[in-house]
Amino acid sequence: MVAAWVSQELEGLSLGDARRHKRAERIVDDLAQISQSQPEAAKSTAALKAQYRFIASPHVSQEAILDAHNQAAIQRTTEYRCVILVQDTTPVDVTRPTLQVEDAGPLESEEKRGFFLHPLYALSENGIPLGIVDQVNWTRESIQTNLTKAQKERVRKQEAFEEKESQRWLAMFQSGEQIARAHSQTEYIVVGDSESDICELFAEVGELPGNCHFVVRGCQNRAVKDGGTATNLDEVLAGAQVQFIDEVEISERVSKIAGETRPRRKSREPRIARISVRVAQVTLRGPSRPGGKLPDVTLNVVEAVELDPPAGEEPIRWVLLTTLSINSIAEIRRVLTTYTKRWQIELYFKTLKSGLRIEDLRYETLDRYMTAVSLLSIVAWRVEYLKGVARQDSETSCEKYFPPEEWQPAYLVYKGDGKLPAEPPSTNEFLLIIAELGGWQRKKHRGPPGSMTLWRGIRRMEAYAEAFQAFQKLSK
């Protein structure tokens, strides 16, 4: 029996054959039990062979699978007043000691081979993951390792924007803009880290619908127009008054490149940071491009500077460029809070890599590899979604997310007294039960359960549900 959420998620899947559709549902359902490998997820040798045949089929593609999930995720966003669309890139290293994955491209060097994922990840304003609404996945054909930093900069400036890897940020921003146009009842805020500080993206401001905004972390001290004595963004902010002192949660960061030393990209521990906050409205001068000068753009800016960083740590400094209003402290805090939701996409990437181990798959060609990753990306979202609802929708009945045939057997095994409650437990309580089934312990100062314990608990819940259903058939 396939879980109801799997059928709903793949409802829009179009593979040209109902049998392939059913096979896709069964594979995702098996993978959703979060095994340590795809062979372990398959319930039999025949099921494993069928899974490999499915992924190798010319009628199956990552585009078709992801499109079904995209449409389901977009539909979920329409249930909310405001949705945050976070975009970011993660490299997937598929380097093998002997046989390499055919068509994989170089990562930070020719020796490391793989591909890149760049999803547009939807979250409710309070942080519930809603899924991937669009994505750009790509490989590099080659990299230039013999150029100096100055030479690379000259090449970058001479390239047309459409030929640069950075165009992915604009592509996903425009995708968010189109989603907003199609669903005017929901406000969409596209969020990007410092790599999305791109003037081509800012130039879209005049075309945005009223329900579409962005928050972009700046990384360049851009020239400003009509700034009085100030000629650049840093000078404008230096002359602005501190609006208030606040605290924000700084997320953990794991460097994407081994040995990274750049402050914005090297690893760090999570912490609560005390920050001073300044704001301004600026008109950025449009830079010259090979095809002509870009327009000047007026944006709001929120600057957050850490006052007392831990010893040995660089102080956090966020310069957030936004179209959101900053006319009150509440509106300024909203900009900051919106940006802090960006860290959730890092948790999604961590689930894909550390939990579902997408870098350890064994496929010989890139297209098959990425088809398998597309199936696992749905599972990764589901795990993050359940973690999110446990924290943000905690008092709702667990039957909103788990049908009786799933939660009741797990509850009976956990309690051990053969009695069901008069009312279903809350979402939070049932997910804590799942976590305990997965090895998590309820202790006074223990943090909330993580992905691994939830995965193990969900797997046990699925096993109890299957056994219970088999017993019911036997007793009829």
Tens-place pLDDT, residues 84-133: 999 999 999 999 888 889 999 999 888 899 999 999 999 999 999 999 99
Separation CA 16–CA 420 (nearest Å): 44
Query: 106-115, long-range: CB within 8 Å, 24+ apart, which pairs?
Result: 106/140, 106/142, 106/143, 107/140, 108/143, 108/257, 109/143, 109/145, 110/142, 110/143, 110/145, 114/139, 114/359, 115/91, 115/139, 115/366, 115/369, 115/370
List the one residue out of 6, 193, 183, 217 whose CA is nearest residue 83. 183
Q: Is the dihedral of CA 229, 230, 236, 242 positive or negative?
A: negative
In the chain, what are the helix, strand and coil shares in percent, each to the nearest 5?
Answer: 45, 20, 35
Residue 41 is predicted with a pLDDT of 57
360: three-class secondary structure by DSSP: helix
CATH number of 394-475: 1.10.740.10
Q: Which residues pair with 206 in a beta bridge?
A: none
Tens of pLDDT along 144-202? 766 666 666 665 565 656 668 889 999 999 999 999 999 999 999 999 999 999 999 99
pLDDT at 448 over 90: no
Residue 442 is predicted with a pLDDT of 85
Q: Report, as an integer, the average pLDDT of 36-47.
A: 62
Residue type, 432: L
Is pLDDT larger for residue 294 or for residue 288?
294
Tens of pLDDT along 241-275? 999 999 998 877 666 555 555 555 567 788 899 99
User: Which string of DSSP letters, residue by residue, matches 164-177?
Assistant: STTHHHHHHHHHHH
Tens of pLDDT along 9-27? 999 999 999 999 999 998 8
Residue 36 is predicted with a pLDDT of 46
Residue 50 is predicted with a pLDDT of 86
> At 32, is the pLDDT very low, low, confident or very high (cuts 50, 70, 90)?
confident
Average pLDDT, rounded, for the chain? 88
Q: Report, as an integer, the average pLDDT of 199-215.
A: 95
Residue partners of 318: CB distance under 8 A and separation at least 6: 217, 302, 303, 304, 336, 339
- pLDDT > 90: percent of the chain: 62
78: three-class secondary structure by DSSP: coil
Strands 105-106 and 90-93: unpaired
Residues in the chain: 476
382 — phi, psi (to 5°)?
A: -60, -40
Return the half-sphere exposure (C-beta side, CA atoms, 13 A cut-off) of residue 183.
20
pLDDT at 68 over 90: yes
pTM over 0.85: yes
pLDDT at 39 over 90: no
